[in-house]
Structure 1
Amino acid sequence: MNIEDFESWSKYYQLQLDGVSFEPNGRRRVAMGLLHLSLEHHQSILNLAKCNLFGSSFALLRCQFEALLRGVWFLRCATDTDIKKFIDGKDLDLKVNVLIRDVENTEGYKNGALKRYKTGKWKAMNDYTHGGFFQVSARTQGDEVTGRNLLEHSLWILTESSKLSLLSILDFCFIIEQPKLSDTLSTKYFEIIEKSP
């Protein structure tokens, strides 16, 4: 895998989703906005990585994950009251573990993948976002400041971000009622990103 593969995936799905429309209502509008934000974070992570700004790209992974999770929750789980409160700018106490629990009671997420993802990566995502030890240790070697260790983690961040982009796309296609497009994009993802060595 190289950065061109990740760029190819990003360009492919952007081309396929460009200009799509959907029957608007509050639920779809909120969910679509959050899923689109998650995809924008994916593209930002890729663009930052292309500029060797991996520390900043790492910081966006949690943002991408939470935008995806909230988008799926608003689409599949939120009550009409929750959606109205959100649209009206009122506070909703959206705790990550509660969102995951609710989403994992819906079709397509019952396998526990979101909980496993969060359990395995949450500490790292927080460290990246809040300038924790990883961000510091990756930049210093003895008495030297360097970003070279960040390059070693580039494949990881691009792979993780691409996985999250696929999940956003699947519910994106559900909103626009395009199951064939969902299948096409899933197939392309596995051809480009999850291909066998």
Structure 2
Amino acid sequence: MGELDEMLAKSHDFAEHLLGMFGEDIEWFGGDRPEAAAAAAELAFEHAHALRVLFSAGTPNSGAAMLRLQYEALLRAAWLLYSAPESPVEKLSAFLTEETAATAKNVISAEKMLLALESTAEKAPNLRGLVLQLRELRDSAWAPMNGFVHAGLHALARTQDGFPAELGTNLVKLSNGMLPMSARLLARTTTSVALVTAVDKVYERFVDVLPVVAPGGN
């Protein structure tokens, strides 16, 4: 088994462990805000799963494109839970029809969501770790993430010259680094304080599949 294949197998175990913590006995908060945030966090997990599947299938450029989708779902989850005004929460929680889809279109950009979270974090120290990680990802990885989504230079060059296994391993790790943040947000839409605490400690058992810097708290 190559380095990338081994990373993918371990990453799958990591994601499954995190999701397995949310058993059928978990009680969830009701209401538009926590339900919408939970849906976005779950979507981030789905995008991470798709990334691993695409890398496993030998389509790494398509897998790399999933990073932006995963990041935006994570960012949306945090914004919905902590910073979004009631109006966009309602728009993004409405029953899906052509009319509601049009109303919810272009509710807010990724940068504005992040700015709103940074403003919230100024008054909520417990959010600063999460928001710092989101900002660092935005500043360091946004351009290449867009490049893979929009068939830019990153994607075209890797298609022509090959996709190094080391790069694939690092991108999978980057995706894995967003999973604990998604799990923490998801846990905070439940009534279980013990679950939040447990999720906060999971990364300690899977450091070999994570970026060097552990994700911040939330």
Q: TM-score, normalised by structure 2?
A: 0.79
1:13 partnered with 2:13:
no
- Please point out which of 175, 178, 188 is paired with 2:202: 188
1:54 partnered with 2:60:
yes
Q: Deviations over 1:63-119 (max 9, x none)?
A: 011011111111111122221222342235312121111112233332533222201
Q: CA deviation at 1:150?
A: 4.3
Query: Could you say which residue in structure 2 is the equivalent of 1:144?
Result: none
Query: Could you say which residue in structure 1 is the equivalent of 2:81?
Result: 75
Query: Could you say which residue in structure 1 is the equivalent of 2:184?
Result: 170
Amino acid at match of 1:81: S
Q: CA deviation at 1:21?
A: 4.0
The alpha-carbon distance between structure 1 residues 29 and 122, as it changes in their structure 2 partners (threshold 3 A), is: same
- Unmatched runs of 5 consecutive residues or more in structure 2: 1-5, 95-99, 213-218
Amino acid at match of 1:59: A
Q: How does 1:131-170 map to 2 (within 5 A)?
A: 131-141=151-161, 147=162, 149-170=163-184
Structure holding more helix per residue: 2
Q: How does 1:23-42 map to 2 (within 5 A)?
A: 23-42=29-48
Q: How does 1:84-163 map to 2 (within 5 A)?
A: 84-88=90-94, 89=100, 90-91=103-104, 92-104=106-118, 105-106=120-121, 107=124, 108-111=126-129, 112-141=132-161, 147=162, 149-163=163-177
Query: Could you say which residue in structure 1 is the equivalent of 2:3?
Result: none
Amino acid at match of 2:91: K
Greater CA drift, 20-29 or 158-167: 20-29
The alpha-carbon distance between structure 1 residues 2 and 81, as it changes in their structure 2 partners (threshold 3 A), is: closer
- Unmatched runs of 5 consecutive residues or more in structure 1: 142-146
Q: CA deviation at 1:10?
A: 1.2
Amino acid at match of 2:82: R
Aligned residue pair count: 191
Provide the aligned C-alpha RMSD in A. 2.2
Q: Deviations over 1:130-168 (max 9, x none)?
A: 111111111224xxxxx4x24331111111111111111
